[in-house]
Amino acid sequence: MDLLLPGPGLAEWLLAALGGKKVALWTGPDAGRGRGGRAARATTTALRQRLGWTELAGASGLDGLVVVVALGGAEPPEDALRAVQDGGALVELAHPPVVPLWRPSRWAARAELVRRASQARAGEWLGRGCFAVEQWAPIDTPRLLVTCGRVRAIPGP
């Protein structure tokens, strides 16, 4: 069963959730294409400038990490995830892959990919040690999937 509830406006939510915190942005190589990808990239770029998000290279002790990727695309590197301190926020903005208008036969395949990928995202973040994981679509960009949670340190052997 697919149950993806509509959430708040993306920019307002990011501003409220990450305002005044040390945050970095990681953008996947395949991110930013299509309507949802362009909206995610424009929103995060504007907030990065407004809130003064730090550079990810060499960062540590982050309060949050925002990841912009294509759904089913590249994953952020492990060192980016380790830069977020315990209890820090991890926010992934994933958009579906672009399907050319002249290829309507691929629309159904994309819908199935989005369904499967959205179901797998929460499990992947739980497997990476996150807790309080939630998933929703912003009301202003409904083709965007927001998966967010808190980072938890899992002690090693």
Q: For residue range 23-56, what is the model confidence (pLDDT) as tens digits?
A: 999 888 877 777 778 888 888 988 899 889 988 8
User: What is the predicted pLDDT for the residue at 14?
Assistant: 92
Contact (Cβ atoms closer than 8 angstroms) between residue 126 and residue 70: no
Q: Determine the structural domain holding residue 15 and report its residue range.
A: 6-151
* Domain assignment present for 24: yes
Percent of the chain's residues with pLDDT above 70 = 84
- CATH number where 86 lies: 3.40.50
How much is the mean pLDDT over the chain? 81
* Percentage of residues in the chain having pLDDT higher than 90: 18
* Verdict on whether the full-model pTM lies above 0.85: no
Count: domains in the chain: 1
